[in-house]
Amino acid sequence: MVFFYWFIWIVGILICLLVYFLYKFKKIDKYFWYLFWFSFILGLCWELPLSIANEISNFPPARFIIPTPLPAPVSTILIILTHSLWDGGLFLLGVWFIRLICKNPIFEKFKLGEFTILIIYGQVSELIVELTSTFSNAWEYIVYLWNPLLFTFNGHNITLLPQLIWLAAPIVFYFIALKFKSRYLILE
């Protein structure tokens, strides 16, 4: 299903454009614009090393079930950049859930509700990404001692490593968002 790769690459770019236009037309403020880019950089923290490890390691963390339609390094670069854009979009969607569920103001001080929403949302969204990937025969993570199998879906592995990443990432995101919000409020 080579179409799936094109889909995730194009949608990654569209997410970036959507956030840009939301910012440009003042549907989101500068704080959320910066959160998107911070989330992109946070996504690079795992997308880059995992993708490089896939290319050069004797123990690659993942494998493409159906090869990507473009040769390396083009496909690798597209995966790193567009998956990180997706990560930024996923984090902003998590922020939107917080805005829907929690009382304003958000991200001004630690609130267990905000924190819990991000953790649960991170786990659910990561699981959906992995299920979609294996259902589409795009990629799966490889089982190792350091990346145990959780279960199989569509005959492919769903492993612990991506879930752990998306357990840690929302924690980092939340505390950086809190710190950034306090500085952002001072600068306003």
Q: What is the DSSP string of 148-186?
A: -EEEEETTEEEEHHHHHHHHHHHHHHHHHHHHHHHHHHH
Higher pLDDT, 138 or 186: 138
Q: What is the pLDDT of residue 55?
A: 93
Residue 183 has a pLDDT of: 78
> Taking 90 as the threshold, does the pLDDT of residue 160 lie above it?
yes
Given a cut of 90, is residue 64 above it in pLDDT? Answer: yes
Residues 66 and 137 sit within 8 Å (Cβ to Cβ): yes
Per-residue confidence at 181, pLDDT binned at 50, 70, 90? Answer: confident
Averaged pLDDT for residues 10-30:
97
Query: Which residue is it, tokens 């889909």?
Result: 7
* pLDDT given at position 1: 65
Please give the Cα distance from 130 to 71 (Å, whole number): 23
Q: Residue 184 above 90 pLDDT?
A: no
Note the helical H segments in the chain. Answer: 2-24, 30-56, 74-101, 112-135, 160-187
> Among 114-123, 148-157, 163-172, 178-187, where is mean pLDDT lowest?
178-187
- Average pLDDT rounded to a whole number, residues 49-75: 95
pLDDT at 2: 83
Give the tens place of pLDDT for each residue, 80-115.
999 999 999 999 999 999 999 999 999 999 999 999
Q: Which of 107, 83, 105 is nearest to 34 (CA)?
A: 107
Least confident among 1-5, 6-10, 62-66, 177-181: 1-5
- How high does pLDDT run on average in the chain? 95
**The predicted structure's pLDDT at residue 187:** 55
Mean pLDDT of 122-131: 98
Q: Are 42 and 172 in contact (CB under 8 A)?
A: yes
pLDDT of residue 182: 81
Neighbours of 69 (CB within 10 A): 14
Q: What is the mean pLDDT of residues 26-30?
A: 94
What pTM does this model have? 0.94
Helical packing angle, 160-187 and 30-56, nearest 10°: 150
